Amino acid sequence: MSWPGVTQRRVGTNGIHLNIAEAGEGPLVLLLHGFPESWYSWRHQFAPLAEAGYHVVAPAMRGYGKSDKPEEITDYNQVEVVNDIIGLIPALGYDEAIVIGHDWGAPTAWACALFHPNKVRAVGGLSVPFMPRSPVQPMPLMREMFKGQFFYQLYFQEPGVAEAEFEADLKTSLRKFLCMAGGETDLSALPEKAEDDDLLSSLPYPEQLPPWLSEADLKFYANEFSNSTMRGPINYYRNHDLTWEMTEGAPTEILQPAMFLAGTNDGVVMMAAEEIKAMPHFVKDLRINHMIEGIGHWTQQEAPNEVNNQILAFLKDVDS
């Protein structure tokens, strides 16, 4: 499935090939998707940004879609993922880019700006705020915080388990997962889970899809994962500690022009409330810091017009 005005090709970067979707000509804007999505999660952003005079490129991140899928779990640490994106910039004929990411794409975007300030002239995050490297190892802390409780990131740690659950019926799994994290869901009303539960069984089956997700959209996502499996995408969650080890001594401040957008009903925002509050202390030129009322986790899909307006205002400000 394609999207009007958007073309695709594979581009070599950092020793692998990423499939990119692109539109427009002008300064480079890279849009990085999260889990469990694809370049297609940015479908509503291509035309407005291209019409504003930008070359808009959304890669399928490593492990996704038609991009390469390295075998080893450790191949999905954030240092490698960041190198994929930084390598795209010269591969596409540019010296620098504006990088904006959502969900897992957000920490990647923030890290691109943090570690490669000469390549990233402005940065944006959707849903996930910038957080400096933790002073303590992430996984032991996570296990302590969620001791005796179900937490999806802990459930994702055992190789093969979450993959098998998702892939047993990809379309139903994605339908449940995407709708569960949307703004229409009252997260407090979801069934209580025990520590050893699975992710999807107890989630309600959404008979009706929300306005932002069509049957055709769902079919596209299911087809992407049926061709590529869930292993690579879930491997991102298995590299918290390795990324932490590899980034010792990381800078703590982002100096480029920056933007942050998120929905008030986003479960990630609820978990990261303190980090969002602290963000201006670390992101020194935070020009847009905007919460969108009533939407959930899938920021640019649930509120495309508002997201487009905010991104365009940010780009205009950066380039004025």
**Which residues are the active-site residues?**
103, 297
In the block, tokens 């581009």 appear at 11
Q: What token pair was written down for 195? A: 């520590």
∠ CA(276), CA(185), CA(139), 5° rounding?
Answer: 50
Using a 10 angstrom Cβ sphere, with 0-12 exposed, 13-18 middle and 19 or more buried, the burial of residue 116 is: middle
Using a 10 angstrom Cβ sphere, with 0-12 exposed, 13-18 middle and 19 or more buried, the burial of residue 306 is: middle
User: Cα dihedral angle (11, 13, 16, 18), rounded to 10 degrees?
Assistant: -40
